[in-house]
Amino acid sequence: MTNQTALPHDHEHCIDSALTLARELCTERAVKLTPIREKVLEIVWRSHKPVGAYDVLDTLARSHKAARPPTVYRALDFLMAEGLIHKIESLNAYLGCGEAGHAHESQFLICRTCGTAEEIVDGALDAALDAATKRSGFAVERKVVEIAGKCRRCQMA
């Protein structure tokens, strides 16, 4: 499954699925998906566009007056550590992970026109990355692959 960014779809269903899966995974792992963390995950998932931490904060603050930057960053850090969201480095923004629960290396296609980002998981591409780093004798810890441009939909219009 990849984010259905280019097609109309029942996004409430996306969100529900993501939250349900997150609850299951956190239970399995014996880590706590607290109300704040769950709410932040929901806020991130409400958009298929990567969302900035301060936008999350604005939304969170509507239901949680005590929310401050650390509140949000702690929740985001937890969700990243659990593989439930990703940070898009080139945007300083965060996106729900469409592959939570599976080990995966993903790449992102970021549309500069409509702002959506699609997470793709391309094995051949990842293999090419590994080959390149192996050649340099480099021990990989984290891969950031973010491709900006124009999505198919925006090219049409």
Closest to 117 measured CA to CA, from 142, 132, 96, 143: 96
74 binds, among a copy of itself, Zn ion, DNA, none (CB under 5 to 8 A by kind): DNA
Instruction: Fill in the DSSP letter of residue 118.
Output: E
16-45 binders of DNA (CB under 7 A): 31-32, 34-37
Bridge-based pairing of strands 93-96 and 117-120 is unpaired
Instruction: Show the tokens assigned to 33.
Output: 């998906």
How many other CB atoms are there within 10 angstroms of residue 108's CB atom? 21
Give how many residues touch Zn ion by CB under 5 A. 8
93-152 binders of a copy of itself (CB under 8 A): 107, 109, 111-112, 118, 120, 122, 124-125, 127-129, 131-133, 135-152
Contact positions vs a copy of itself (CB under 8 A): 89-90, 107, 109, 111-112, 118, 120, 122, 124-125, 127-129, 131-133, 135-152, 155
